[in-house]
A and B are shown apart, each in its own frame.
Chain A
Amino acid sequence: MIELSGVCRRYPGGYEVLSGVDLHIARGEKVFLTGRSGAGKSTLLRLIGAIDRPTRGQVIVGGQNLSKMSRGALPYMRREIGLVFQDHKLLYDRSALDNVMLPLLIREMPRADAQRRARAALDKVGLREREKAVPVTLSGGEQQRLCIARAVVAHPHILLADEPTANLDEAYARDIMDLFMAFNSTGTTLVIATHDHDLIARHGGRHVALEGGRVSG
C-alpha cells in the first residue's frame, strides 16, 4: 500500500530531515510514528500525503510513484488520503459544516448529500451542535476535532494524522482514537505521528521510531 525506498528530504539551507528511509506499510495496517521533535515524523507524513516530494528516493502509494505523478493526477491521489494536520489548516471564515463539506464538494458530490454526510462526521467528533460556528470561535480541541471530521468524512483509504490527540482532553482523545480504530477495522490504513506512548500501548499496532532521519525500530 505504502512503500518508501531510500527516501531523503533536504530542506533549503541543507538541513536533511530524512536520510534514507525505507518503510513498507501494508493495506489496512495501523502504524504509529514516534520520535523526538524534528525527527521527521511530519515530513514523512507530508511525503506519504503527496504534499511534498522527496529529494531522493521514491514514495509509492497504492502502486503510484508520487514523485513521477503529473500535477493533474495528484489531486485524485490526495482524495484517497485523509489528513489531520497539526496546525489544522481550517478555513477560518467558513462554518464548521462548510469546512467538513469541502472534501465532498471537491469530489463534486451533490450539496444535499454532502451536508448529510458532513453532519454525520460532525456528530462523530461531538461537534454536531456547533456546525454553524466559525473555527475562530472554537477551542483548540474543537478545531482539532473539526480537522478530524474533515479528514474522515470522505472515507479515505489512508488516514494520516499528525499528533491528532495533542490538544484534546482524555475523554475526547479516547473517542477520537476509537473513531480512528473503527475506520482501521474497516480496512483504512492508519499512520499516526505521536509522542504519546500510552496511546500506542492502548491501541497496539506497529511502532516505527524515527531517529537521525532514519527508521530506528
Chain B
Amino acid sequence: MSTSAVLQHHRDSARVAWLRLRQAPVASLFSILVIGIALALPAGLYLLVDNLQRAAGGLATQAEMTVFLKKEVDAADGQAMALALQKLRGVASARFVDRDAGLAELERGGLEEILTVLPQNPLPHALVIQPARADAALLDKLEQDLRARSEVDDIARASDWTRRLDALVRFGNTLAAVLGWLLGLAMAAITGNTIRLQIYALREEIEVSRLIGATDRFIRRPFLFFGLYQGLLGGLAAWLLTLLAVFALNLSVGEFAKSYGSDFVLTPLDVLSSLALLGGASLLGLAGAWLSVQYTLRRLI
C-alpha cells in the first residue's frame, strides 16, 4: 500500500469525522461550548495571574531596598560601592545617599523636632537600591549578597508586599494548574462520552466492517479525528471566551487603573499561550477519544 493511499484514507476518515460533527449541529455546538467553558476557567485564571505579574513588574519602584553602611565607611567608599552594585544583575539602579542628605530627607519628612534634640547626626551613609523587578526571590538573593559584605550594617526593605504578591502569584499558578488538570480530564470525559454514544449509534456499521476484515485501527480512525476536532473547537471556544472576558473586564480595569494614574489594561493570551491552549485541548480530545474507542469497542464486539 502506497503512502498516498494511507494519506487518502486519513483524509477520508477526517472527512467522515467532520460530517459526523455536522450531522448533529446542535449537540456538537453544546459539547464544544461545555468544553470551551471548562477550559476557559483555568485559561482565564492563568491570564489573570499573568497580568498580575505584569502589573507587579510595573510597580518595581516600590520594592526598593535601603542599605545602611557601617559608620566607618566613608562617602568615597559608599559611592564606589554604589557604582559597583549598579553593574549587578537584577539591580536597576543604586544611589548613594550621604548621611547629611539622609538627615535632610528626614527633616523634610516631618521629623525636624525630634532631630533637633539629638547631639549629632545619627544616620550612616546609605545606598538606595532599585531592583530590576519586584520579584521576592530576586530581592532575597540581593539582600543575602549585600548582608555578606563587610561594609553593610543593616538593610531595610520598603515592605514585604513583594513576598505576599509572590505567594499570591504562586498560589494562582498552582490553582490554574490544578483546575487545568481537573477540567482537562472533564473535557476528555465529555469527548469520550460523545464518542461512546456515537459508537453505539454506528454499532451495525462497525459490526459489518469487522466481519469483512476491518482492523481496530480502521474503525478507530474517524473517531480519533472526531475527538481531535471537538478538542480543537473547544479550545477555540475557550480562547474566544477569555478574549471576550478580557475586553469586558478592561472597561472597568482601565477606569480603575486610570484613577491611580496608571495606563494598565489586561492583555489577552499571547501567541504561545494561545497555541498551547489549542494544542492542549486538541490532545485532550484525542486522548478522550482514544480511551473511549478502546474501551467501548472491546465491550461492544
Contacts and interface: CB of A to CB of B under 8 A. Distances in A.
Contacts of B12: 105, 111
Contacts of A102: 208-209, 212
B263 interface: no
Contacts of A182: none
Interface string B198-241: 00000011011111111110100000000000000000000000
Interface string B173-207: 00000000000000000000000000000001101
A89 B1 contact: no
A91 B212 contact: no
Closest 8 CB pairs of A and B: A79-B213, A78-B213, A75-B215, A106-B214, A75-B213, A110-B5, A103-B212, A108-B1
Contacts of A83: 211-212
Interface in A63-98: 71-72, 75-76, 78-79, 83, 89-92
Interface of A: 49, 51, 71-72, 75-76, 78-79, 83, 89-92, 102-103, 105-111, 150
Interface residues of B, number: 21
B201 to A, nearest CB: 11
A108 B9 contact: yes
Contacts, number: 57
A89 B212 CA distance: 10
A111 to B, nearest CB: 6
Interface in B1-52: 1-2, 4-6, 8-9, 12
A107 to B, nearest CB: 7
Nearest to B2: A110
16 contacts: A72-B215, A75-B210, A75-B215, A75-B216, A76-B215, A78-B210, A78-B212, A79-B212, A90-B208, A91-B204, A102-B209, A103-B213, A105-B12, A106-B215, A107-B213, A110-B8
Contacts of B2: 110
A198 B69 CA distance: 118
A91 B205 contact: yes
